[in-house]
Amino acid sequence: MQKGNIRVQTENIFPIIKKFLYSEHDIFIRELVSNAVDATQKLRTLSSIGEAKGDLGDLTIDIQLDKENKTITISDKGVGMTAEEVDKYLNQVAFSGAEEFLNKYKGQNETNIIGHFGLGFYSAFMVSERVDVITKSYKEDAKAVKWECDGSPEYTLEEVEKAERGTDIVLHINDESLEFLDAERISATLKKFCRFLPVPIRFEGEQINNTHPAWTKKPSELTPQDYQDFYKELYPYSEAPLFWIHLNVDYPFNLTGILYFPKIKQSYELQKDKIQLYSNQVFVTDEVKDIVPEFLMLLHGVIDSPDIPLNVSRSYLQGDPNVKKINNHITKKVADKLEEIFSKERKEFEAKWESLGLFVKYGMMTDDKFLEKAVKFHIMEDVRGEKFYTLDEYREAVGGLQTNKQDQLVILYTTNPVQQDTYIRQAQAKGYVVVKLETLIDAAFINQMETKWEKVHFTRVDSDIADNLVDKAEITGSVLSTDQETILKELFSRQIPELHATVEVKGLSADAPPIIATRPEFMRRMKDMAAVNGGMGSFYANMPDEVTLTINGNHPIYQTILKLEDKGRQEKLAHNLSDLALLSQGLLKGNNLTSFIERSVDLMGGEAKGKIILEA
């Protein structure tokens, strides 16, 4: 029997490993099973070149739980180790960098431990009071050996009997880690970290992994149903995805994976951290913000790359040029795929725009390279729901009709087609094209695009009277006299605590509404953004709403109202008309809304009164 000390330059290595090596103790399962997979893959390689003789047999990795003896055993039938290899690989902890590791990271938080130190095996000591390794090399006439260590620098190494090639690692679980003697806990951890490893893994008689997941295959080998089935395997309770992008790059870095565009409900239910990062089919993390562009964090799927630099626990990324390159590649790949679908299957693309639009707009706001490409496939839906326009198509559709005095294209939009129907009809009567921008992200999107797109301005359809929407129409005069206009201004001018109201009289067409309430585009937009984002926007959220009441002096109802001798009825009619206008902007609430209802009932009493209302 050989005895000795594990060769490290300090006796503090094991306390450091136990405390700082990994943030989560269940990682030991991933590390030890991954090592078993590596040993198996090495044997396959040696066999393929003729160095490993004979039939390899069943290469399944077995995990066995023994509650009575408080052990977990991980067994592989891979290359195994000779006594010399055990001495080299187990007795020289991180032999390539132990001194640097200890000097640099002793006493620091585990998130700062980075590098490749070969410490995965020693994660076993986080949960074990003793670790036994029984191993037999694939080499002819190799003797089986057993290595034992109790977490101190002392170990024993001796020859033993072992019939089969491979390695058994026996973990004697310590009292602080008895939770890992629960079969359900082990099963869940195996399925989390090992569900796609390339070697069969068996626990309690059941194989727990898919050794050939979809992303490891060529796109030509997969059908649409295969992609759909793999999505269900990843996310059993999710709706079918809209479509997917298969990543397959081998230069200048290695990257494979499948990214899915999930269906997103109009309620803006967003879930990040749904992309899983793997390294050679070993699960690493679902926090991929450094690899995947922020706007694509809403995607689902898998990314696998052995070239992504990881710290010793494989859980945090280092700053590295490859990460940026991979980030840029994914952005380009997604943009190219969206452009391809838009060009070849535009109808299908338009049908999915409700969900796709969120990704596209978010990307245009946060990534200028994506913005350059996205202008080709970003679309805006006509309020009628009959047509979609790219920016260039919208410009062509409206011609010079929607160009303002600053030579800007004015994109007229609605955030609520039902509530803003009156304003939409007036704009359409002028020949204007109104599009729908009604998601929570649109207020911020509009602001961003006005700074990034040249000579483009967005105007909500209810932000001004139709004649002024593009800031160039000449409005005809009112048929009312100056005195009559003054009387009407006095009737409609009233103090509303929640509003800052301005009253004006203009000569609109006789079929336009008798009074129109509009809110300044900038202020309303800021208040809408504040309602969503809070923060500095609260400055605008707390300001009173500004509203302009534009009296249509050419509407016949005012000839009737001005002739009334009952001033009280005059005021009530004017009050109701202005309330109707405010109601269209969602600005009539609380007591004001109650008063409007009561006043309407009062005005409906009596035949004469009813006649006036009907004429209105």
186-232 tens-digit pLDDT: 999 999 999 999 999 999 999 999 999 999 999 999 999 999 999 99
**Cβ atoms of 585 and 517 closer than 8 Å:** yes
Q: In which residue ranges of the chain is CATH 1.20.120.790 found?
A: 482-615
**Cβ atoms of 284 and 318 closer than 8 Å:** no
Alpha helices by DSSP H, listed for 345-466, are 346-351, 353-366, 368-374, 391-398, 421-429, 442-452
Reference 261, options 386, 360, 152, 162; nearest CA is 360
Phi first, then psi, for residue 15 (nearest 5°) are: -60, -35
The topology under which CATH files domain 380-468 is: Rossmann fold (3.40.50)
Q: In which residue ranges of the chain is CATH 3.40.50.11260 found?
A: 380-468
Flag residues of the chain having pLDDT under 50.
9-10, 94-117, 267-268, 312-315, 536-537, 606-610, 612-614, 616
Structure tokens at 97: 């960098």
Query: What CATH number does domain 214-344 carry, 3.90.700.10, 3.80.10.10, 3.20.20.150, 3.30.230.80?
Result: 3.30.230.80
**Cβ atoms of 371 and 363 closer than 8 Å:** yes
CA 533 to chain CA centroid, Å, is: 17
Superfamily of domain 482-615: Heat shock protein 90, C-terminal domain (1.20.120.790)
Q: In which residue ranges of the chain is CATH 3.30.565.10 found?
A: 2-206
Cβ neighbours for 499, distance < 8 A, ≥ 6 positions apart: 544, 545, 546, 547, 582, 587
| Average pLDDT value for the chain | 83
Instruction: Output the pLDDT for position 470.
Output: 84
Structure tokens at 441: 């992200």
Reference 436, options 519, 339, 351, 354; nearest CA is 354
Structure tokens at 81: 């180790």
Query: What CATH number does domain 2-206 carry, 3.30.1370.10, 1.10.1740.10, 3.30.565.10, 3.40.50.460?
Result: 3.30.565.10
Reference 496, options 568, 570, 589; nearest CA is 589
Reference 37, options 285, 22, 45, 86; nearest CA is 45
> In whole angstroms, what is the distance from residue 501 CA to residue 518 CA?
10
Instruction: Output the pLDDT for position 6.
Output: 60
**Cβ atoms of 220 and 112 closer than 8 Å:** no
pTM: 0.74
